[in-house]
Amino acid sequence: MKTKILIVLALLCAGTAYSEKVKTKKSELRRNISVYDTYAPTPGRLPIVQTAQPIPDGCIQIGSVTVGDSGLTKTKNCTYEACIEAVQEEAKKMGGQFIYIVKITEPSTWESTCYSIVADIYRYK
């Protein structure tokens, strides 16, 4: 009986150690991307329209991007600049012509130590 209990405990400990190793490999920014329409990739840097500024008339939204913490992201990898670069990269891939920042969540002690950005991607008609 004691042998069976020891075997079960050993297996549980081995499984826990393995899962911890897998979890620590996450270090990239999490990206959620919704694409409504695609165009040829856009070269160069895209202009950014900040929250609460008007969107130019005659524009169409072609997608949205959310960039932020994946849970174990190193703080140096999720700065404001790193998040903006990730948004730029995804927006250029889908053929966007400018980025509209919907929401920026700054690092905090109680939630995440990383920035998080939600952005909509637009094209001129």
pLDDT at 17: 30
Give the model's confidence band at 76: pLDDT under 50 very low, under 70 low, under 90 confident, else very high.
low
Is residue 33 situated within a structural domain? yes
pLDDT, one tens digit per residue, over 80-120 is 999 999 999 999 999 999 999 999 999 887 778 889 999 99
Is residue 90 situated within a structural domain? yes
The DSSP result for 27-54, as a single string, is -SPEEEEEES---SPPPSPPPEEPTTSP
Is residue 117 situated within a structural domain? yes
Is residue 53 situated within a structural domain? yes
- Looking at the structure of the chain, the number of domains it has is 1
Tell me the C-alpha distance between 122 and 125, whole Å: 9
Question: Higher pLDDT residue, 70 or 51?
Answer: 51
Is residue 10 situated within a structural domain? no
pLDDT at 1: 57
Is 96 within 8 Å of 46 (Cβ atoms)?
Answer: yes
pLDDT at 114: 87
Is residue 67 situated within a structural domain? yes
**Domain limits for position 58:** 27-124
Tell me the C-alpha distance between 22 and 19, whole Å: 5
* Cα four-point dihedral sign 41, 94, 115, 53: positive
pLDDT at 8: 43
pTM assigned to the model: 0.72
Is residue 20 situated within a structural domain? no
Tell me the C-alpha distance between 84 and 68, whole Å: 10
Beta strands in 80-115, from DSSP E residues, in sequence order: 98-105
Is residue 66 situated within a structural domain? yes
Residues with Cβ within 8 Å of 111's Cβ and at least 6 positions away in sequence, in order, are: 105
pLDDT, one tens digit per residue, over 12-69 is 444 333 222 222 233 477 888 889 888 999 999 999 999 889 998 999 999 999 998 8
